[in-house]
């Protein structure tokens, strides 16, 4: 039996076709998304059809893991009102501050929703819409996350009865002939900012307060549930967010920390208890299995490496070779990697800063090394914040390095010194899509727990700690206020 997993990320759609019993990948597809911080969801659907051509129709079950947070606003006919605002669209930073203040401050948000919302969260984008596009805001009847919308499309769309069935009250008794309503899962829902992962329930008053009126929210499916079927008869799982999919694909266990270097950078861990971090750095998400997934996200990750490579007139392999030719510490160069603003720490107006440049250390090698160390130091900070928020102290399990940036030899070799820990790098794989496929296999099996797929082979890296790199990074992070932050964009 075959199952398909979909990773609909910011940059592309990837599909893997797997054996349902052990996760062996037997087919792959990929299609790009246009760049930008907003997108017509139809682009995702077209990319899914292209990436899944010759694969999806062979699957007995399909699961979708999608980029978190985005706002897909639908009118009463189920039509998309405006291009979806994506997680990396920071125009709602002011709305985030407004909502945090309006509803009792950071402590209230952390205790109620598990997170203190930043510009990435859907709730802030709804408030931005109400403020800046009031005509569109009044048309909003339903709000979906990106993976919800793609799952809905796989199920054939949302008709009048589906919209009614998703509302509480008499419509719940509409009868078995009604169409499948839109659904989400407990893993992705906390990224909206109006869901309580601890209670496992929506907070609809928050969504209504953000956009100005009540809106329909999708049903929250159980982790291993089959939520419907495709036109060719394949079972469809609940789907989840991309980080939750990666955790499931990696087989992450309590004590492990996964660090992903992709378009964004993330550090996340599986926990049996919810996180509560009033500082807002740690998002208290849930995983795709019924546990919790404290997560820290940075805006700047692999694109910092790409920018440094372009600046040095080389490609990513060339950047890696240059960085490996430099000593740890980059000759005293330290890069603050907030090239596109930053989410953790919450500094949407920040820019990059290079400190320590002299005539003695001004080499291509040192600049390349500084870029690699900057990304790793930022993510090591993120891992430390998770340990502090969960009260676990230093990481007790594995540090797993994944994502496109983990393919860099310089990143792999520098990571142990900056994380102060051995680092495992699993073999390159589309772990988000793999997790979505594992969830699809779970829905197909109908078992209490997901299938026990064997872990992927991993290469281990060790090295001496480099505390001076972390110390210089922390000093630059804490001392610097960039021109953009002082004056605004």
Inter-residue contact 468 to 329 (CB < 8 Å): yes
Position 163 scores a pLDDT of 39
* CATH code assigned at 209: 3.30.420.40
Residue with tokens 């699957």: 59
Position 232 scores a pLDDT of 93
pLDDT band at residue 391, thresholds of 50, 70 and 90?
A: low
Inter-residue contact 326 to 373 (CB < 8 Å): no
Position 483 scores a pLDDT of 60
Q: Is the pLDDT of residue 118 over 80?
A: yes
Q: Kindly state whether residue 432 falls inside one of the protein's structural domains.
A: no
Position 396 scores a pLDDT of 54
Position 487 scores a pLDDT of 62
Q: Kindly state whether residue 330 falls inside one of the protein's structural domains.
A: no
**How far is Cα 210 from Cα 92, in angstroms, rounded to an integer?**
12
**Strand ranges in 145-256 using DSSP code E only, listed in sequence order:** 183-185, 195-196, 201-202, 219-221, 226-229, 235-237, 240-241
Question: What is the greatest pairwise CA distance in the chain?
Answer: 76
Q: Kindly state whether residue 320 falls inside one of the protein's structural domains.
A: no
Residue with tokens 């932050």: 485
Position 175 scores a pLDDT of 29
Q: Is the pLDDT of residue 394 over 60?
A: no
pLDDT band at residue 158, thresholds of 50, 70 and 90?
A: low
Q: Kindly state whether residue 345 falls inside one of the protein's structural domains.
A: no
Position 409 scores a pLDDT of 98
Q: DSSP assignment, residue 347?
A: B
**How far is Cα 351 from Cα 186, in angstroms, rounded to an integer?**
34
Inter-residue contact 26 to 201 (CB < 8 Å): no
Q: Is the pLDDT of residue 178 over 60?
A: no
Token pair recorded at residue 236: 């469809």
Q: Kindly state whether residue 191 falls inside one of the protein's structural domains.
A: yes
- Which residue range is the domain that position 173 belongs to? 2-242
Q: Is the pLDDT of residue 174 over 60?
A: no
Span 263-309, pLDDT tens digits: 889 999 999 888 888 988 999 999 999 999 999 989 999 999 999 99
Span 313-360, pLDDT tens digits: 999 999 999 999 999 999 999 999 999 999 889 888 899 999 999 999
**How far is Cα 81 from Cα 76, in angstroms, rounded to an integer?**
10
Q: Kindly state whether residue 484 falls inside one of the protein's structural domains.
A: no
Position 389 scores a pLDDT of 79
Position 378 scores a pLDDT of 97
Best CA proximity match to 155, nearest among 83, 28, 63, 29 = 63
| Residues catalogued as catalytic | 242
Q: Kindly state whether residue 81 falls inside one of the protein's structural domains.
A: yes
What average pLDDT does range 441-456 have in this prediction?
A: 95
CB neighbour burial string for 125-138, b if at least 16 within 10 angstroms, e if fewer = bbbbbbeeeeeebe
Looking at the structure of the chain, the number of domains it has is 1
At residue 393's C-alpha, the angle toward residues 389 and 398, to 5°, is: 100
Q: Is the pLDDT of residue 12 over 70?
A: yes
Q: Kindly state whether residue 421 falls inside one of the protein's structural domains.
A: no
């Amino acid at each position: 039996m075959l199952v398909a997993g979909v990773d609909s990320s910011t940059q592309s759609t990837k599909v893997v076709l797997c054996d349902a019993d052990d996760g062996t990948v037997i087919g792959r597809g990929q299609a790009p998304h246009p760049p930008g911080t907003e997108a017509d969801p139809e682009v995702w659907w077209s990319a899914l059809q292209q990436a899944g051509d010759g694969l999806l129709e062979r699957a007995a079950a399909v699961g979708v893991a999608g980029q978190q947070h985005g706002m897909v606003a639908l009118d009463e006919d189920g039509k998309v009102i405006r291009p979806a605002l994506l997680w990396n669209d920071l125009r709602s930073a002011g709305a985030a501050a407004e909502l945090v203040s309006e509803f009792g401050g950071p402590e209230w948000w952390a205790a109620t929703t598990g997170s203190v919302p930043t510009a990435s969260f859907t709730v802030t984008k709804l408030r931005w819409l109400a403020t800046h596009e009031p005509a569109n805001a009044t048309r909003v009847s339903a709000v979906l996350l990106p993976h919800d919308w793609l799952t809905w499309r796989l199920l054939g769309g949302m008709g009048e009865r589906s919209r009614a069935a998703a509302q509480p009250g008499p419509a719940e008794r509409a009868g078995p002939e009604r169409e499948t309503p839109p659904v989400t899962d407990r893993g992705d829902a906390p990224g909206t900012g109006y869901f309580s992962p601890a209670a496992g329930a929506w907070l609809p008053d928050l969504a209504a307060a953000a956009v100005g009126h009540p809106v329909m929210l999708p049903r929250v499916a159980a982790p291993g549930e089959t939520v419907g079927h495709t036109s060719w008869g394949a079972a469809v799982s609940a789907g989840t967010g991309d980080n939750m999919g990666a955790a499931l694909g990696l087989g992450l266990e309590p004590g492990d920390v996964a660090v992903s270097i992709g378009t964004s950078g993330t550090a996340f861990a599986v926990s049996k208890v919810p996180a509560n971090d009033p500082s807002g750095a740690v998002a208290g998400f849930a995983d795709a299995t019924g546990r919790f997934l404290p997560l820290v996200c940075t805006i700047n990750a692999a694109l910092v490496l790409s920018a440094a490579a372009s600046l040095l007139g080389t490609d990513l392999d060339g950047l890696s070779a240059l960085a490996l030719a430099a000593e740890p510490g980059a000759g005293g160069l330290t890069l603050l990697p907030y090239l596109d603003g930053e989410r953790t720490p919450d500094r949407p107006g920040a820019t990059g800063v290079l400190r320590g440049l002299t005539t003695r250390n001004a080499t291509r090698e040192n600049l390349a090394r500084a870029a690699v160390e900057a990304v790793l130091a930022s993510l090591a900070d993120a891992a430390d914040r998770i340990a502090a928020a969960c009260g676990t102290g230093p990481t007790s399990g594995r540090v797993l390095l994944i994502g496109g940036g983990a393919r860099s030899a310089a990143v792999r070799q520098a990571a142990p010194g900056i994380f102060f820990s051995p680092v495992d790098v699993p073999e390159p794989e589309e772990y988000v899509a793999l997790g979505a496929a594992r969830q699809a296999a779970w829905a197909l099996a109908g078992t209490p727990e997901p299938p026990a797929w064997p872990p992927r082979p991993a290469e281990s890296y060790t090295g001496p700690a480099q505390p001076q790199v972390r110390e210089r990074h922390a000093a630059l992070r804490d001392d610097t206020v960039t021109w953009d932050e002082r004056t605004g964009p």
